[in-house]
Amino acid sequence: MKIKAAIFGASGYTGQELIRILSGHPQVELAAVTSRRYAGVPVADVFPSLLGLTSLTYSNATPQEIAELCDVVFLALPHGVSMDMAPVFMQAGRKVIDLSADYRLRDLTTYEEWYAKHHSADLFGQAVYGLPERYRQEIKKSRLIANPGCYPTSIILGLAPALKNNLLSVSTIIADSASGVSGAGRDPQVGSLFCEVDGGFKAYKVGRHRHTPEIEQELNMLAGEKFAISFTPHLLPVKRGILSTIYATLKKDMTLPELHALYASFYEAEKFVRICPVGTYPNLSSVCGSNYCDVGLTIDPRTHRVIIISAIDNLIKGAAGQAVQNMNLVCSLPEESGLPMAPLYP
């Protein structure tokens, strides 16, 4: 029997991507998708690409009503909204994959400093940070998964092997990232218009992006010590993808083959992390359309810095794909089930 899934808030790019992936998932039946704006409208009218792939119509049902229809729910909602929905689904005994930031931080004060007042912080203890490569066992046992942010996914996966092995002078870490426009969502705003983005490139929210505490929380856990990083997001004229170029000073000398072997071994069993051959580096074109995170690296002997570059599709490994990966774990399905494997190149 198929698992019944629902998506709460399914009219944005992440919601669409969840519908796209789940409509082809062999062990899942997509039971309901909600949208206040499009209530009563067939999904394929809003997203013509899905014509023939889903016959669902957007519903305006309450969380209680949706909980009746599903085993697992994806919350593809803005932060601040999820925190009011998750408790309903939890109380109804459902499994919850929350794609907002509401349950990612373990520290309430930090959450309220960077985001807003929290209404269901009592669930913090039950939430697991949904990065399977890091918390696979915890995820399997949890019912509330805080699906990671897109930038954090790319940066944490890029640094995990080095931090776990205590290779880096942590105060020197700098993550310079660039994201495609879909990260800004489908709500119309001047800054996301084609004419504003195409041919352009810019940094934004320099030194104050909300993913910073999330990244630091996980990097600190990996290193076992407290430190701050510099994180600068940029807006790329592409639809999908995040590439992070990460700099840090090595604590002691090591060779590139040694470092490369350490990374390859760290991720050996992972289906969705690929280490680029020495001398090659990730390209958004080589991951977009898939759930892969590609990681490449080098050592600059002139400055004793390691340079790690990681790339993901922000809507897949950075959002909907990782959410389905988490659902697979939570529902005891094969971890890669239904997930897009082959990147769409060119």
Residues 327-346 within binding reach of its own copies (CB under 8 A) = 341-346
Pairing, β 242-250 against β 273-275:
unpaired
- Which of the residues 214 through 243 are near its own copies (CB under 8 A)? 228-230, 232, 234, 236-241, 243
Amino acid at position 114, single letter: W
**For residue 346, is the peptide bond before it cis, meaning its omega torsion is within 30 degrees of 0?**
yes
195 is catalytic: no
Interface characters, 154-183, with its own copies (x: CB under 8 A): -----------------xx-x-x-x--xx-
- Which of the residues 270 through 289 are near its own copies (CB under 8 A)? 274, 276-277, 280-289
User: Shortest approach of its own copies to residue 91 CB, angstroms?
Assistant: 34
| Residue 200 burial class via C-beta count within 10 angstroms: exposed 0-12, middle 13-18, buried 19 and up | exposed
| Residue 96 burial class via C-beta count within 10 angstroms: exposed 0-12, middle 13-18, buried 19 and up | buried
- Which of the residues 297 through 316 are near its own copies (CB under 8 A)? 298-300, 302-303, 305, 307, 309, 311
Beta bridge partners of 244: 177, 310
Q: Does residue 39 touch its own copies according to CB under 8 A? A: no
User: Shortest approach of its own copies to residue 291 CB, angstroms?
Assistant: 11
CB 214 within 8 A of CB 270: no
String of DSSP letters for 115-139: S---S-GGGGGGEEE--HHHHHHHH
Comparing CB distances to its own copies, the nearer of 185 and 224 is 185
Comparing CB distances to its own copies, the nearer of 98 and 294 is 294
Comparing CB distances to its own copies, the nearer of 89 and 281 is 281
Comparing CB distances to its own copies, the nearer of 1 and 190 is 190
Could you give the residue numbers annotated as active site? 150
